[in-house]
Amino acid sequence: MRGLYLVTPNWDDTARMLDITAAALDAGAALVQYRHKDASPELRREQGAALQALCRRYARPFIVNDHLDLCLTLGADGLHVGGTDMSVAAARAALGPDKIVGASCYGDLALAHAAWKAGASYIAFGGFYPSPVKRYSFTTAPSVVAEARTQIDLPVVVIGGMTPDNAAPLVNLGADMVAAITSIYGADDPGAATRRFDALFAQQKGNPQA
């Protein structure tokens, strides 16, 4: 796991979401997470199925945020769980050993260690910067990335107000993936924005997960 981790916005416009997702995948986005906190169950199924079909075309992993039922219905590649969602252990038990299970760990190494032991496939830290999408009541210290790199044998994802410029120090500390929403879906040229994120990893040296 390495590169741009694309997270969808709360858009009801499925065609627009698919167009920008396709542009990002075409430019090299490594993974797509479907996250729409306000969608109806019907819209969630429609968008999830369409995004999964798109990811299949590009041979990139497709995971669902929070909704285990949708993940199972679609046969998605995995599930991402947050601190108030189902546990990593429950997600792993429901999905089996071969699916991706991601865990939000905020800025807490203890949560990351627990997620690792419970069977997580990757750990996500953040938010590091103010986000126009997610409101964080805390700011995650960049040092947690370097600490996790030395303590936990899992890919590290960083999230929260990510741009190619402010993500660079976190990639240099060892982040394997940068999760972005607005920097791609709000970009004038989503493909170019994706390539700017990917360039961070091309420039990185000495990453333990490389």
Catalytic residue among 35, 60, 149, 196, which? 35
pTM over 0.95: no
Known catalytic residue at 205:
no
What is the rounded CA–CA span in Å between residue 177 and residue 110? 20
Distance CA 189, CA 120 (A): 33
Contact 104, 82 (CB under 8 A): yes
Residue 197 included in any domain = no
- Is residue 195 in some structural domain? no
35 part of the active site: yes
Could you tell me if residue 123 is inside a domain?
Answer: yes
Amino acid at position 77, single letter: D
SS3 per residue for 42-92: HHHHHHHHHHHHHHHHHCCCEEEECCHHHHHHHCCCEEEECCCCCCHHHHH
pLDDT classification of 131: cutoffs 50, 70, 90? confident
Residue 163 has pLDDT above 50, yes or no: yes
Instruction: Choose, from 2, 45, 134, 195, the residue flagged as catalytic.
Output: 134
Domains: count for the chain: 1
Asked whether residue 201 is assigned to any structural domain, the reply reads no
* Position 209 in a domain: no
Question: Model confidence over 89-122: pLDDT tens digits?
Answer: 999 999 999 999 999 999 999 999 999 999 999 9
Residue 152 structural domain: 3-189
Determine the average pLDDT of the residues in 31-52: 97
**Cis amide linkage into residue 160, ω under 30° from 0:** no
pLDDT (0 to 100) of residue 136: 66
Exactly one of 60, 104, 121, 196 is catalytic; name it. Answer: 104
Which residue, 210, 191, 155, is CA-closest to 25? Answer: 191
CA dist., res. 175 & res. 86, Å (int): 25
In a domain, 30, yes or no: yes
Whether 92 sits among the annotated catalytic residues: the reply is no
Is the residue at 159 inside a domain?
yes
Question: Which CATH number belongs to the domain containing residue 134 in this structure?
Answer: 3.20.20.70
Is residue 48 included in any domain, yes or no? Answer: yes
